[in-house]
Amino acid sequence: MEKVIEIEHLKKSFADNTVIKDLSLHLLKGENLVILGKSGQGKSVTIKCIVGMITPDEGSIKVFGEEVTNLDETQLLEFRVKMGFLFQGGALYDSMSVRDNLEFPLRKVLRMKDEHEITDRCIEILDAVGLSDSIDLMPSSLSGGMRKRMALARTLIVRPQILFYDEPTTGLDPVTSSEISELILHVQEKYKTSSIIVTHDISCTKITGDRIIILDDGKCRTEGTFEELKNSKDKLTQAFFKSI
């Protein structure tokens, strides 16, 4: 199967703190890859390196066969259109309505001008995330779960091929967390996306993960399906799955 992301021997330090020591991993086309690991193991740093927000010290990062570390700022901006990043806090523009939040990337990133096409795209994406009646609301009137859905809608509006979810269920109650996890699956099926999901939520991992890797000491300690890791004899792996 085609690899859309390939990372080899990635290293990244901040001052005297080496966060990523020697990380190699890949993401297959159409796959949801979950990255687990204790705090400070480089999960979020890894995805920020992939999208060019952080420059690694050593190693190779290829996305669609293109070496990301060789791209200049202009090339990175063009390249990022293929990738969507769902931040923990959603990063919505609170002064803009739901409609305006969605229209902004269409106008500024994709340079769309046809008003009917813009409106149709907004309605389609809101329907896909279950917010079809919220187009004229302000972000402040949305619940935590609705804000997550809205943030995902704004990420999807430019139709990226790869999605990065950074702790998508943080701060949500168990029922809403389950709904967001199911939504991630729905997005994968509907839009044929390939995704990397960074999470501490083992329930989210179970629902969304086609394959799971566990980071430890700046490296990939183990990988496999949910059932394979759940039945692992490795003590660190068992610690993540003991609540299931």
Q: What is the pLDDT of residue 218?
A: 87
Amino acid 90: pLDDT: 61
pLDDT digits (tens, 9 = 90+) for 74-88: 888 888 889 998 876
CA atoms within 13 A on the CB side of 229: 26
Residue 194 has pLDDT above 90, yes or no: yes
- The domain tally of the chain equals 1
Calculate the dihedral angle through the C-alpha atoms of 107, 32, 192, 179, rounding to the nearest 10 degrees: -70
Q: Mean pLDDT for the chain?
A: 90
Mean pLDDT of the region 47-55:
91
Q: What is the pLDDT of residue 237?
A: 87
- pLDDT classification of 235: cutoffs 50, 70, 90: confident
**pLDDT (0 to 100) of residue 244:** 59
DSSP letters spanning 138-195: -GGGS-HHHHHHHHHHHHHTT--SEEEEESTTTT--HHHHHHHHHHHHHHHHHH--EE
> Do 215 and 10 form a contact (C-beta atoms < 8 A)?
no
User: Which residue segment(s) compose the domain that 145 sits in?
Assistant: 3-241
Residue with tokens 């991630």: 184
pLDDT in tens, 89-132: 666 788 899 999 999 999 988 899 999 999 999 999 999 999 98
The yes-or-no verdict on residue 197 having pLDDT over 90 is yes
CATH number of domain containing 218: 3.40.50.300
How distant, in Å, are the alpha carbons of 188, 202, 216, 219, 225 from that of 209? 11, 10, 19, 19, 8
Measured over the CA atoms of residue 155, residue 156, residue 160 and residue 165, the dihedral's sign is positive
Degrees (nearest 5) of the Cα angle 224, 156, 100? 150
User: Are the CB atoms for 238 and 232 separated by under 8 Å?
Assistant: yes
Share of the chain above pLDDT 70, in %: 98
Task: Give the C-alpha separation, 240 to 170, whole Å.
Answer: 16
Q: Characterize the bridge pairing of strands 162-166 and 194-198.
A: parallel
Residue 243 has which token pair?
């609540």
Q: How far apart are CA 184 and CA 163, in angstroms?
A: 10
